[in-house]
Amino acid sequence: MKATWMIVLAGASLAYAQNPLTTELRQGYNEIKTAMTKAADEMPEADYNFAPGPGSRPYGATMLHGAQVQAAVCGMASGKQAPRFDQARTGKSDVVAAVKEIGRAHV
C-alpha cells in the first residue's frame, strides 16, 4: 500500500511539473518579477517622488502598490500569507526591499 501511494504521488508531481498552465503562469510571474526588480533598482532615488500629473501616484507608491498586488495574487495562488508593506514607505530602499520580498516569498 505504501509503495502504491509513493507511485501515485510521484505521478501527480510529474504531472504538475509538466502542466502547461502551471509552466505558463510561472514564466509570466518570473517575467513580471524581473521587470519590477529592474525598474525598482534602476530608478534613481531622487525620482521616486516623480508623479506624472496631479492626482497620480508617485513612482515609489506605484511600484509599492504593484508589489502589494503581486504578493496578494501569489499568496492566493500558493495558499501562503502575503506580506503586507507599509504604504507610506515609498523610498527606493523600501520599495526595492518589498519587490525582492515577493520574489523570495512566492517562488
pTM of this structure: 0.73
Q: Residue 18 above 90 pLDDT?
A: no
Is there a contact between 67 and 59 (Cβ–Cβ < 8 Å)?
no
Of 40, 58, 36, give the one whose Cα is nearest residue 49: 58
pLDDT digits (tens, 9 = 90+) for 48-104: 999 999 999 999 999 999 999 888 888 887 788 888 899 999 999 999 999 988 867
String of DSSP letters for 53-105:
STTPPPHHHHHHHHHHHHHHHHHHHHTSPPP---TT--SHHHHHHHHHHHHHH
Of 29, 9, 18, give the one whose Cα is nearest residue 99: 29
